[in-house]
């Protein structure tokens, strides 16, 4: 996510908008309580009239503003690099402080807000809905949304927001943001996978609620022995979720043929489809056969993936999700 060395970050953030290299900080004109100090600005050393002195002062002040801005930009880049080092070391609170300083010094520094939001997101505890955890989650998402206001097609920010919503169990918003990712990149396998997982989670929870209310347990095989008054309403409720889940999980595997996690969820959602096909023994049998087929494929592909990983090249590698290892 972050570069490996400070030098690499210094090369990445090239401020091409500066017309010239600003003077060093120790070369800035001095400011005293009485005004600017410098030999060319003392009235006794110049014969310029009032308007002339005004324009010279304006030029000097503009130069000072540019120079001070340049120093702020350099310090902002230094804070960004320090934040990256702290983040890589797992010191997220320290990284957050550096990234916050970086954005304050130079609000236009590329990636500073993204890095700050990413560090905040690391402090979000999955599944925890305490006020403090939700506050951190909302802070991170708000900054990612600021990034999107400048770059509406920033898929990374969309995925980060979706992931945070998923972490705090807001599945509707998580799904909505993953679909925004797919609108920008229809072949994104992680986004399709996550939508399918969310559909399965919703359908599975509906099933548990219905069965537990009737004093029953899920048998994972279509629950053919459960009464109609339980299963028929459940089938109607879950049918749209199962159809969509199958669509997106299949899309995930199509876009990443070695996606063993998606294959395993195809097994699970076919078992939910067996519930939807309640009352149709032939369809239920086909659903369960498909579930087993995807289980077998997932296990085989996982083994293959592990073997390739163990035989992979040394050094730093990047996985299909863009994460460095």
Q: Rounding to the nearest 10 degrees, give the CA dihedral for residues 229, 230, 233, 235.
A: -130
For residues 127 and 166, what is the distance between their CA atoms, to the nearest angstrom? 8
Does residue 255 form part of some domain? Answer: yes
Point out the domain boundary residue: 155, 182, 209. Answer: 182
Residue 241 belongs to some domain of the structure = yes
**In this structure, are 3 and 101 located in the same domain?**
yes
Do residues 178 and 203 share a domain?
no
Q: Does residue 151 sit in the same domain as residue 260?
A: no
Q: How confident is the model at residue 49 (pLDDT cuts 50, 70, 90)?
A: low
- 126 located within any domain: yes
Residue 218 resides in a domain: yes
Write down the mean pLDDT value for the chain. 80
Question: Residue 6: which pLDDT band, with cuts at 50, 70 and 90?
Answer: very low
Does position 41 have pLDDT exceeding 70, yes or no? no
Buried/exposed code over 19-58 (b: 16+ C-beta within 10 A; e: otherwise): eeebbeeeeeeeeeeeeeeeeeeeeeeeeeeeeeeeeeee
Average pLDDT for 37-63: 48
Res 107: pLDDT: 80
pLDDT at residue 166 in the model: 97
Residue 317 domain-assigned?
A: no
Please identify, among 121, 156, 182, the residue that sits at the C-terminal boundary of a domain. Answer: 182
Query: pTM for the whole thing?
Result: 0.71
Give one DSSP letter per residue of 36-95, joined into a string: EE-GGG-GGG----HHHHHHHHHHHHHHHHHHHHHHHHHHHHHHHHHHHHHHHTT-HHHH
Tell me the per-residue pLDDT of 118-141, one tens digit each, with 9 for 90 and over.
889 999 999 999 999 999 999 999
| Between 148 and 41, the higher pLDDT residue | 148
Q: Is residue 259 helix, strand or coil?
A: coil
Q: Assess whether 194 and 238 both reside in one domain.
A: yes
Better-predicted residue by pLDDT, 32 or 70: 70
> Could you tell me what percent of the chain has a pLDDT over 70?
74
Residues 1 and 101 in one domain: yes
Residue 1 pLDDT grade (very low, low, confident, very high; cuts 50, 70, 90):
very low
Buried-exposed string 245-256: b where 16+ CB fall within 10 A, e elsewhere: bbebbebbbebb
Which of 114, 148, 182 marks a domain boundary? 182
For the residues 61-87, what does the mean pLDDT come to? 68
Q: What is the pLDDT of residue 62?
A: 52
pLDDT at 75: 79
- Average pLDDT on 57-66 reads 48
The pLDDT score that the predictor gives to residue 225 is 95
User: Considering its fold, how many domains does the chain have in total?
Assistant: 2
Does residue 230 have a pLDDT over 70? yes
Range of the domain at 97: 1-7+88-182
Note whether 202 and 299 are same-domain residues: yes
pLDDT at residue 280 above 80? yes
Report whether pLDDT(297) > 60: yes
């Amino acid at each position: 996510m972050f570069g490996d060395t400070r030098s690499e970050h210094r090369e990445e953030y090239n401020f091409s908008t500066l017309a010239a290299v600003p003077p060093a900080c120790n070369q800035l004109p001095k400011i005293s309580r009485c005004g600017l100090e410098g030999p060319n600005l003392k009235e006794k050393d110049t014969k310029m009239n009032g308007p002339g002195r005004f324009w010279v002062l304006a030029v000097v002040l503009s130069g000072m503003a540019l120079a001070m801005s340049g120093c702020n930009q350099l310090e902002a880049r230094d804070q960004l690099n320090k934040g990256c080092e702290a983040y890589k070391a797992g010191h997220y609170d320290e990284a957050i402080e550096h990234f916050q300083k970086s954005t304050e010094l130079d609000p236009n520094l590329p990636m500073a807000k993204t890095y700050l939001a990413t560090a905040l997101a690391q402090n979000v505890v999955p599944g925890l809905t305490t006020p403090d955890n939700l506050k951190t989650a909302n802070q991170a998402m708000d900054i990612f949304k600021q990034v999107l206001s400048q770059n509406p097609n920033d898929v990374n920010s969309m995925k980060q927001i979706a992931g945070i919503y998923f972490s705090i169990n807001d599945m509707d918003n998580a799904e909505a943001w993953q679909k925004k990712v797919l609108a920008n990149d229809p072949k994104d396998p992680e986004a399709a996978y996550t939508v399918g997982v969310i559909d399965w989670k919703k359908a599975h929870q509906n099933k548990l609620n219905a069965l537990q209310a009737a004093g029953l347990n899920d048998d994972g095989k279509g629950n053919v022995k459960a009464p109609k008054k339980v299963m028929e309403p459940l089938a109607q409720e879950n049918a749209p979720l199962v159809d969509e889940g199958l669509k997106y999980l299949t899309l995930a595997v199509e876009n990443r043929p070695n996606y063993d996690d998606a294959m395993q969820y195809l097994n699970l959602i076919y078992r939910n489809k067996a519930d939807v096909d309640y009352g149709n023994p032939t369809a239920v049998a086909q659903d369960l056969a498909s579930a087993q087929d995807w289980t077998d494929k997932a296990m085989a592909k996982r083994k293959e993936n592990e073997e390739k990983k163990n035989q992979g090249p040394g050094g730093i590698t990047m996985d299909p999700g863009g994460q460095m290892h």
